[in-house]
Amino acid sequence: MSITSFLSVLFSSALASVLFISPSLAQERFAVKDADLVFSYILPEGWVQQDDDYYHYILSPDRKAQISLTYFDGMCEHLDECYIGEVEGRLQSEYSGFELLREDSLNIGGSEARQAVISGSRDGSKYLIYAYFFIWEDQFFKIIAYLPHQATGRMQTTVDETVKSLRLRLP
């Protein structure tokens, strides 16, 4: 086999691996239209979405993990103040054994965002909580992912990738 043929086979195999194994390439964007904005994200394979009047939910196939998304008009002018209020106020009061495991800054939908990873218990169950907060067009976004404490790294990655895939636009 010539070196050119070998490289061609190698490249074709690598390309096939990316195209047929990578779940993010096979998944489609799911869009939610509201009066104030449109947001979309890549819905993980097997997960389902649900809405009520205040929240948009993304639920794992076994329903043991969920991501909830909500936003409020004009509720927050300074991200850091609202982040502290949510993490050190609301979340800390809701979970016994509250432990802040990690904090991070990132970009979600083109906006500066804050993330907290928390361990805590509620209603007799222990959770890992991935909390994301950001401001876009005067809207304060709050995304909270609840995972069973024993959640695998793959489930944690799925949550993180789903949140980071969020895109926003005006209607």
For the record, the structure tokens of 83 come out as 């982040």
Q: How confident is the model at residue 27 (pLDDT cuts 50, 70, 90)?
A: confident
Q: Is residue 70 within 8 Å of 54, Cβ to Cβ?
A: yes
**H helices present in 22-137, as ranges:** 23-26, 79-84, 92-94
Query: Which pTM was predicted?
Result: 0.82
Q: Select the CATH number that applies to the domain covering 24-169 from these four: 3.40.1000.10, 3.30.420.40, 3.40.50.300, 3.60.15.10.
A: 3.40.1000.10
| C-alpha distances out from residue 127 to 137, 138, 148, 150, Å | 32, 31, 5, 8
Q: Which helix (H) or strand (E) is 11 found in, with range?
A: helix 3-21
At 56-114, the pLDDT tens digits run 999 999 999 999 999 998 888 899 999 999 999 999 999 999 999 999 999 999 999 99
Does position 24 have pLDDT exceeding 60, yes or no? no
Rounded CA gap, 133 and 144, in Å?
9
The confidence score (pLDDT) of residue 169 equals 95
Q: How confident is the model at residue 26 (pLDDT cuts 50, 70, 90)?
A: low
